[in-house]
Chain A
Amino acid sequence: MAKLNMVQAINLALREEMQRDKDVVILGEDVGRDGGVFRVTEGLLDIFGQERVIDTPLAESGIVGVSIGMAARGLKPIAEVQFMGFIYPALDQISSHAARLRSRSRGRYTCPLVVRTPYGAGIKAPEHHSESTEALFCHMPGIKVALPSTPYTAKGLLISAIRDPDPVIFLESARLYRLIKEEVPEGEYTIPLGKARMAREGKDVTVISWGAMLHRCLQATEGMSADVIDLMTLNPFDEEMIYSSVKKTGRVVIVHEAAKTCGLGAEISASIAEEAMLYLKGPVTRVTAYDAVLPLPKLEDYYMPTVERIKRGIEEALKY
């Protein structure tokens, strides 16, 4: 079995799904000849041709809006937005149309669309290239949000996203793209949307995270007895796994690299309060980025949770 990084694993998922289903097409800026600015779509143009790997004009709303039209007519478009910081022109299309189409047409029209976009800080990129605003999309009923943390899960989750009959925002950590290699099998396997993964098992504390931060949580909990949950799907998230872990450990730390206020940690924390409050030994702790505009690279290491900050957060939780 080949050891692949996340770029290669996603590329493999795209290739296999396009081979399996001719309704799957890719649209975006530089996705064809250039293979994408991160090379995620590399080689696909040569295999599938420009009818299926479509270099579009530079227009994010256009890419997503056109994809919605294609999806409504039965194709399965995968739209790439080059960086999450540039997805905002497409928010109207995602929120006003992709999210609502099935509901407002009472199922006559659906939107089996995937919007892939790299997110997150830590690659020393220019302004607007390091956003992590996943919570925006989690607040849109009708949209699903998936965010893998490893090459293996990236492939399985993306295949599920492509086959899902509803729109999925698929967030890929730019920092993780080439950071980790692991064994990724060829051929079909899926990781269901809506299910989390227990990345480490323990008994004293539940640490919940996703994407790039998951790896820092694993580092921070080395030598501890902790449940580390890799959420993988942010909406709908796996409530069952969270509550059963919380009931076991009684202590919770939620870690994300998005700003704190109204981040997804708030929703998870409130849900735990509703469903597992009486099992808690102390307050839920959130370790997040600051409520600040995402800084340029010189300060980004101070902005995102570090292993040290996560450790301190866990120590706080363990005091109770």
Chain B
Amino acid sequence: MPEKIIESCSVTRLDILNEKGEADLSLMPALTDDQLRELYEIFILARTFDHRALNLQREGRIGTYAPILGQEASQIGTAYALDKTDWIFPSFRENGVLVARGYPLHMILQYWGGDERGIKVPDHLNIFTISIPVGTHVLHAVGSAMAAKYRDEKTVSMVYFGDGGTSEGDFHEGMNFAGTFRLPVVFVCQNNQWAISVPRERQTASRTLAQKAWAYGFEGIQVDGNDILAVYKAAKAAVEKARRGEGPTLIECFTYRMADHTTADDASRYRTKEQVAAWEARDPLLRFRLFLEMKGIWTEAFQKEVDEKAKQKVDEAEKTAESAVHAEPSDMLAYTYASLTPRQTKQMRDF
């Protein structure tokens, strides 16, 4: 009997905007000028917030912080493809997602300032508490999708993780469950090339991360993660597919972590200035601005207006976060269970 090929897989890569801001018009997603303006505003707000948070950390006004610089297009483009009733499962480097979904900015600062009240997600937002243990929350998104399917809701669950996360067992178990049960989940992998100091090549021998989806029986696609139009287009397609009941998708956003892993990290220990400089030219904001300028949407006046709005919002957030009354020490006991255990009731007397 001759050997024969019984399965073969291919991985698509999607690029729409180049570094000069020129778009392949045949691939343009359906976005109105107002939506493009809105995306740009979110972008500026996310970057302004990120910059401010870094400064606040340097001044000792918040704790360790994980910056998003360079990854904004991947985060905003995917989050923008969701409906308000859809569910988001963020990791710890997703402030672009939170900003895009209208998460109160002062609460993000509160959380990174060491106050759990910052992740008491407001009731109107379908965002899960951010997850710190890498990859573990992939399973929660899959469970959420399972609940949606069980209840016959047409909601989609979207989960965010990085290239390092794809090495974790929970990532694989989650992908496997999602494929097996054909669940409405979108897996967003921001491949920012670094898991703290360990480069992407040391996570896997696979040529792409997108191709991992094929092993679990569904489609994976790689997009230029610094191209907000490509990211949005891929995410929108994946969300619609999930909503139609056609199962999960893995989107690999090929991007770069421009800043340190966190403020406790020094990336110069493991990567060169030249490597980083090469990615500066690929800045996701620059090319989006050039694109909008060519379309006649971006003007100096527009930039000034959105900058001012963003600054004002971040100023307010900073003020609100810093003027919050100190958390009650008894809170740490009060929310352990629905009601206090007898032993906790005694421990409560310390406060």
Contacts and interface: CB of A to CB of B under 8 A. Distances in A.
Interface of A: 25, 51-52, 56-57, 59, 61-62, 64-75, 77, 89, 92-93, 96-97, 101-110, 141-142, 144, 164-166, 194, 236, 239-240
A62 B337 contact: no
Contact of B342 (A68, A165, A240): A240
Nearest to B179: A57
A103 B336 contact: yes
B147 interface: yes
Contacts of A108: 120-121, 123, 129
Given A51-B150, A62-B173, A69-B144, A96 B133 contact: yes
Contacts of A166: 337-338
10 contacts: A66-B142, A71-B143, A72-B144, A103-B332, A106-B120, A108-B123, A141-B336, A166-B338, A239-B342, A239-B343
Interface string B165-209: 000011001101100100000000000000000000000000000
A142 B174 CA distance: 24
Contacts of B141: 69
Nearest to A101: B129
Contacts of A105: 116, 119-121, 129
B313 interface: no
Interface residues of B, number: 42
B150 A25 contact: yes
Contact of B180 (A25, A57, A142, A164): A57
A69 B119 contact: no
B120 A69 contact: no
A106 B138 CA distance: 21
B174 A72 contact: no
Contacts of B138: 65
Contacts of B335: 102-103, 106-107
Interface string B323-347: 0000000011001111001110000
B147 A69 contact: yes
Contact of A106 (B116, B136, B337): B116
Nearest to A167: B337
B143 A96 contact: no
B139 A194 contact: no
A73 B148 contact: yes
The majority secondary structure among interface residues of chain B is helix
B170 A72 contact: no
Contacts of A52: 150
A102 B148 CA distance: 21
A102 B141 CA distance: 17
B140 A68 contact: yes
Given A92-B133, A166-B337, A69 B139 contact: yes
Interface string B144-160: 11111010000001000
Given A69-B144, A107-B120, A61 B150 contact: no
B146 A69 contact: yes
A174 to B, nearest CB: 25
Contacts of B131: 97
Please name the 4 residue pairs, one residue from A and one from B, whose CB atoms are nearest each other, closest first: A69-B143, A65-B139, A62-B173, A69-B140
B150 A66 contact: no
A110 B173 CA distance: 23
B117 interface: yes
B128 interface: yes
A92 B136 contact: yes
Contacts of B331: 106
Contact of A73 (B129, B144, B336): B144
B338 A102 contact: yes
A151 B318 CA distance: 58
A144 B337 contact: yes
A151 B142 CA distance: 35
B249 to A, nearest CB: 18
B243 to A, nearest CB: 17
